[in-house]
Amino acid sequence: MKRLLLNALRLTPGHSAAGSRQSTTSLVRRSVWLWPIVAAMAIAAVAWWIRATVEQAIRRQMTDGIVATHNADIAALHAWMKGKRNDARLIAASEPLLPLVRELLALEAGSPRLQQALLNAKAEQNVRAYLAPRLTTLGYDDFFLVSPALHVLASSLDSTLGRPIDGYRKEFYQKVLRSGASVSKPYRSPLLLADRNGEIKAGQPTMSVAAPILDENRKPLAVLALRIRPAESFTDILHVARLGVSGET
């Protein structure tokens, strides 16, 4: 009988309500801890998405800036090289040079001591006298008149007369004889040249623009090369466009 009464008490509405309240309280307590975790995860996800979006936009902007800088430098470099080639073509096509070149070529063919013959040749002095003011006006340092046999027939520098051309310069002059006016890549000069401070040093960086001197039948008789100082012209072209204070492509 007592067991029946106890069972009845357990099934009374009062006891059911108390159990329901306990369950609700437990659920509320769980929710209090769950919602901050869910909110934190949502904020983290949004923050990650914003960071990824901003980073992608910055990368795209930087890429566009670098590409624009690169293209501007390339365009400026092409324009500069075209101007240099035109200078060389214009001077090489000067009528007074043609008879002087023929005289120097004759010396190359008939003189066993070529350097001495060139130093004493009137044509050598006339070539220098003709080119000197033109080089000064156009901003070139030296000139080299090179035969198809790749000997220096005339130059601003006595020490180079009659010397054979080799290395990269040989390839460059052969290319000019075959294909026309061209600008060389920068290379270290085998000659003793003055640096920016006027000190004579070996291995100075240098460049050349060259064009063939053609006869009446458009056949190349020689190559006229004009020396360029890369630090004073070529390098400046690469500073036409730049990012910020010092950013370069």
> Who has greater pLDDT, 62 or 133?
133
Average pLDDT, integer, range 110-138 = 91
Q: What pLDDT does 24 receive? A: 56
Mean pLDDT of the chain: 80
Average pLDDT, integer, range 219-243 = 77
Q: Provide φ and ψ at 171, rounded to 5°.
A: -60, -40
Nearest CA among 173, 111, 116 for reference residue 144: 173
Q: Cβ(119)–Cβ(158) under 8 Å?
A: yes
pLDDT above 50: residue 4: no
Distances (CA, A) of 223 to 118, 143, 213: 17, 10, 6
pTM score, whole prediction: 0.68
Q: Measured between alpha carbons, how far apart are the two ends of the chain, in Å?
A: 99
Task: Find how far residue 231's CA is from the centre of its chain.
Answer: 13
Q: What pLDDT does 5 receive? A: 43
Tokens of 34: 């769950």
Average pLDDT, integer, range 210-226 = 95
CATH of the domain spanning 82-237, picked from 3.20.20.70, 3.90.1150.10, 3.30.450.20, 3.40.50.150 = 3.30.450.20
For 142, residues 6+ apart whose C-beta sits below 8 A from its C-beta are: 135, 155, 156, 157, 226, 227
Where are the chain's structural domains?
2-59, 82-237
Instruction: Give the dihedral sign, CA 235/240/246/247.
Output: negative
Q: What pLDDT does 6 receive? A: 44
Average pLDDT, integer, range 10-22 = 50
Residue 150 one-letter amino acid: L
Q: Cβ(117)–Cβ(160) under 8 Å?
A: no
Q: What pLDDT does 3 receive? A: 54
Q: What is the DSSP letter of 247?
A: B
Distance CA 98, CA 23 (A): 111
